Amino acid sequence: MPGPLEKYSRQVLFPEIGEDGQARLIQSQVVIFGCGALGTVQADALCRAGVGSLRIVDRDFLEESNLQRQTLFSEDDVQKGLPKAVAAEQRLRQINSQVRVEGLVADVNYKNIDQFVEGTHCILDATDNFETRFLINDVAVKYSIPWIYGAAVGSYGLSMTVIPFETPCLRCIFESLPPAGISPTCDTAGVLAPIVNIIASIQVAEAIKILTGNSHCTNRKLISFDVWKNCWKEYEIANARSEGKCPACQLGRFEFLEGKEGSTVTTLCGRDSVQISQGGGNSLDFEQLAKRLRHWGTVHFNQFLLRFNLDHYEIAVFPDGRGIVKGTKDTKVARSLYAKYIGS
């Protein structure tokens, strides 16, 4: 197979892709939200598969503890203190110079998400919090862009493919955000690289099907894997649209995209602090949260407030989930710390 397709010959030989499928892939545009464990595996695979353009949006900087699972990065990148989106872009250009790679250092929110998805054919979820996932769901449904949910923590992961108006969307299945602070995160409960690789690989396979014109082959179930408990399961979700009550894909109410649901982030002037107000208003179990956080820093709490000190930051959390991150004016840093340790 001489010529421009030689690089992709093993994929082109796969009859369901073929030269036509590869030609479609080369013209496709993909956005990955998040460039941590899931995002690096996805970006690596899609770059090698030869998508036309790959946009990666992430708000974080590299830390040494990322290297155990975030496959695009090296010790050198950590030493340079690079943002993940920048380090990923550099590495991906070395892997496949034919792909237009764009690494954007940004905190995705309801005001800016539209601009990131313009012209895209598929969105891959690699974020570390619920709120951005619900936001991705809203924007994907609004513009009818297929997207693939994936998440992993510990040894366990979930994935689901959303083809708006054809398959259930995330809000058909999970109607609302869990209250802040009750869910384990990779930074408090740990995560194994193999589960991340499995979930990210499923997401990439789904994306390749969609981008090569094989949407009919996508998985229509909610899939769960646990690599430690040796359990793989599929759950039937096809009839989740039958109720006709989904706020996003059936009633056309994009509450996250309109900023009505989710958090509000405010820099508190002159205080070197950022406030994160999380919707929901459920009362947090400080005892459980303190138990999780004690591994990482010092925790003090009474019935009104929990204070968590980590390096030179302090996160104060109120029972309704509102948090104040002290030690930074940067909303990206504050949202990232809140998502990692409290869980949003």
Partner 1 sequence: MPIQVRIPVQLRTLTNGEEVVSASGTSVLEIIEDIEKKYPGIKDRICEADGKVRRFVNIFVNEEDIRFLDNLKTPISDADEVSIIPAIAGG
Binding site for partner 1 (CB under 8 A): 34, 36-39, 125-130, 133, 150-154, 156-158, 170, 173-178, 182-186, 189, 191, 196, 221-222, 224, 226, 229, 231, 233-237, 239-240, 242-243, 288, 291, 339, 343-344
* Cβ-based neighbour number of residue 258 at 10 Å: 11
- Tell me the closest approach of the beta carbon of residue 125 to partner 1, in angstroms: 7
* Cβ-based neighbour number of residue 70 at 10 Å: 23
> What is the rounded distance in angstroms from the CA atom of residue 88 to the CA atom of residue 62?
10
* Residues 73 and 91 sit within 8 Å (Cβ to Cβ): yes
Partner residues linked to 55 by β-bridges: 31, 102
Nearest to partner 1 of 77, 187 (CB atom): 187
Nearest to partner 1 of 25, 124 (CB atom): 124
> What is the rounded distance in angstroms from the CA atom of residue 323 to the CA atom of residue 342?
9
Task: State which H helix or E strand residue 208 sits in.
Answer: helix 193-211
Nearest to partner 1 of 36, 50 (CB atom): 36
- Tell me the closest approach of the beta carbon of residue 223 to partner 1, in angstroms: 11
* Distance between first and last Cα of the chain: 49
- Tell me the closest approach of the beta carbon of residue 235 to partner 1, in angstroms: 5
Nearest to partner 1 of 159, 218 (CB atom): 159
- Tell me the closest approach of the beta carbon of residue 270 to partner 1, in angstroms: 33
- Tell me the closest approach of the beta carbon of residue 23 to partner 1, in angstroms: 31
Task: State which H helix or E strand residue 141 sits in.
Answer: helix 130-142
- Tell me the closest approach of the beta carbon of residue 3 to partner 1, in angstroms: 38
Contacts of residue 285, Cβ cutoff 8 Å, sequence gap at least 6 = 181, 182
Nearest to partner 1 of 129, 161 (CB atom): 129
> What is the rounded distance in angstroms from the CA atom of residue 150 to the CA atom of residue 205?
12
Nearest to partner 1 of 16, 175 (CB atom): 175
* Residues 109 and 135 sit within 8 Å (Cβ to Cβ): yes
> What is the rounded distance in angstroms from the CA atom of residue 25 to the CA atom of residue 74?
28
- Tell me the closest approach of the beta carbon of residue 129 to partner 1, in angstroms: 5
Nearest to partner 1 of 120, 132 (CB atom): 132
